[in-house]
Structure 1
């Protein structure tokens, strides 16, 4: 399997996040991608390619163009305003406030274009975002050109990024962009299977009213788990998208017996939809030792996930999302890919 990866991800480093009333160093660190890359090389999974240059055309169709423009300019605006250190929002246009008035000041724009305090900007953030997006599109192009599977080693991740909002370490929704590229290449219907512990709220929002990209999420119950305000089982899509959104929330502590059953349900739905291609939002924060998640999958479970996905027989793009037990992320993420390859 070919992997697409850019060293520019390392520029997104030293960021902070606001978590449970504390300002902490970000859990989403450059070492995550480097350990996965080292594991790919160690097991001989296949060649590691640089992403090809991409325009922002797909990004501005998945997201609002003004949002994409803001992401590209946020750090420069922050510095021009005289601020130092990582840029984080502190106020949001929530209930009782207007969200149709776009402010001018960078401190307000950060809140206008986000939903939490988890996606900071530093000097290298836009370069990392752009290269992560390019990796996802390049992997989609490989699959559209005949590869059975390809892996976008994306960092930062993307599945929490919505039409107009960053959050949860995510800026551009790489999986949604990959699915859009597959549609552009001729796939009549694409499915996105999100196996991250946290619900892919951005992906759900982007495709909520559409039937050409179906979305399955396996995730922690939003009653107790981030992002809290989306991901319930009764959310099925609306209009042309009705019936093409499937949420499979699980209580904390879910092990393979529970999680594997949910995976079977999700894969059955994908089969029933008759899709032409698949994008997997590959989060491995379902591992029993993850510091910010609460499922109990074991390293030996991840190849089983890959094998079950392979059984669909679909051209498949894997897009890296979460996984914050840094020392174990290589074994777990690459385990899925090896399972898909039948190793």
Structure 2
């Protein structure tokens, strides 16, 4: 199995994170990337960095704009430059106002744009955010090229993650939706694609991007959003709209979900993928479902990921794993190893 690694997989992440009203150390620490890569190496993956040609923004922009709004992409590209020119500018961009139904006049000041395009306090923008986000996109674009050439499975180590990034908004540590960009790229080869999100949190951005399309099935298994991030999406009654009706499935699970209950939900999801007659599978891969994860509420063991990998492999589809969350650093390498070896062992 090839593992395509973002060139910025191990750089320093954002400094602060707003967690239930408290600013704390941001959980996307550099050690995450190192431990995920270590797990891939232990699973005997071939580590590949994107070719230099695919690191150029001009080569990536067309793929990004296929799923993200141009005005939003332009904002991400220039946000830090404009913000840092302000007097007494902070070292990271946080929104200090959120537009709502009473505030409708668009304003292009740096502070106003931060509120317009950043949905929460988990996705601060810093000097290197745009560069790092492009690195993640370069990894998934490189990974899709291998799948389109006939590889059966590829792993993309993306950092920052992407599944919370909406068409025109950053949130939840995500800026560009790597899984969605990869899916759109794969559509040049495969006519029907399923996205299976196994991160702890609902893949709201991915759902939004494909919500009205019938060629992409989106499924997310996650913590019940009644009292869990992202709070406003991820409920069972969200089934798609228009052409995409019945092409979206959410499987919210309660706190404390163990391996047996999780695998039962996974089997339900895989049956829907089979019924959809998908030709390829994109797995938004999070390990924050692990029992000790500081941002999770499930009770999976490291060995649970081996079973998850085995079940996903049983579909027999060309598969792209796209890295999302997972914040208990001490167990990350083993969790990654278990998932990959489980998939490879079938």
- Measured against the shorter chain, the TM-score band is over 0.9
Preserved contact between residue 93 and residue 124 of structure 2 (Cα < 8 Å): yes
Given candidates 290, 294, 298, the residue that maps to 1:295 is 298
Runs of 4+ in 1 over 6 A off after TM superposition: none
Is 1:68 paired with 2:73?
Answer: yes
Q: Structure 1, residues 176-200: CA drift from partner, whole Å, max 9, x if none?
A: 001000002x211110000001000
Alignment match, 1:140: 144
Given candidates 323, 335, 338, the residue that maps to 1:332 is 335
Distance in 1 between residues matched to 2:337 and 2:101, nearest whole Å: 42
Alignment match, 2:97: 91
Alignment match, 1:200: 203
Given candidates 281, 293, 303, the residue that maps to 2:284 is 281
Alignment match, 1:307: 310
Preserved contact between residue 195 and residue 281 of structure 2 (Cα < 8 Å): yes
Preserved contact between residue 60 and residue 134 of structure 2 (Cα < 8 Å): no
Q: How does 1:264-279 map to 2 (within 5 A)?
A: 264-279=267-282
Q: How does 1:134-173 map to 2 (within 5 A)?
A: 134-173=138-177
Distance 1:43 1:316, change over 3 A: closer
Alignment match, 1:25: 25
Distance 1:237 1:102, change over 3 A: same
TM superposition score normalised by structure 2 = 0.95
Greater shift after overlay, 216-225 or 45-54? 45-54
Preserved contact between residue 160 and residue 202 of structure 1 (Cα < 8 Å): yes
- Local SS of the residue matching 1:181: helix
Q: Structure 1, residues 78-116: CA drift from partner, whole Å, max 9, x if none?
A: 111231311111111123322xx4321111111101211
TM superposition score normalised by structure 1 = 0.96
Structure 1 unmatched ranges of 5 or more: none
Distance 1:216 1:14, change over 3 A: closer
Preserved contact between residue 176 and residue 206 of structure 1 (Cα < 8 Å): yes
Distance in 1 between residues matched to 2:149 and 2:12, nearest whole Å: 31
Alignment match, 1:179: 183
Alignment match, 1:13: 13
Preserved contact between residue 14 and residue 28 of structure 2 (Cα < 8 Å): no
Distance in 2 between residues matched to 1:300 and 1:199, nearest whole Å: 23
Q: How far 1:157 moved relative to its partner?
A: 0.2
Is 1:2 paired with 2:7?
Answer: no
Is 1:218 paired with 2:221?
Answer: yes
Alignment match, 2:60: 55
Distance 1:252 1:95, change over 3 A: farther
- Local SS of the residue matching 2:60: coil
Q: Structure 1, residues 49-101: CA drift from partner, whole Å, max 9, x if none?
A: 33533321111120101101111111111111231311111111123322xx4
Preserved contact between residue 211 and residue 241 of structure 1 (Cα < 8 Å): yes
Between the two proteins, the alignment pairs up a number of residues equal to 340
- Local SS of the residue matching 2:227: coil
- Local SS of the residue matching 2:218: strand
- Local SS of the residue matching 1:199: coil
Is 1:107 paired with 2:102?
Answer: no
Q: Structure 1, residues 235-277: CA drift from partner, whole Å, max 9, x if none?
A: 1001110010000000100001111110000000000000111
Distance 1:9 1:126, change over 3 A: farther
Preserved contact between residue 10 and residue 128 of structure 1 (Cα < 8 Å): no
Greater shift after overlay, 279-288 or 27-36? 27-36
Question: What RMSD over aligned residues (CA atoms) do the two structures have, in Å?
Answer: 1.3
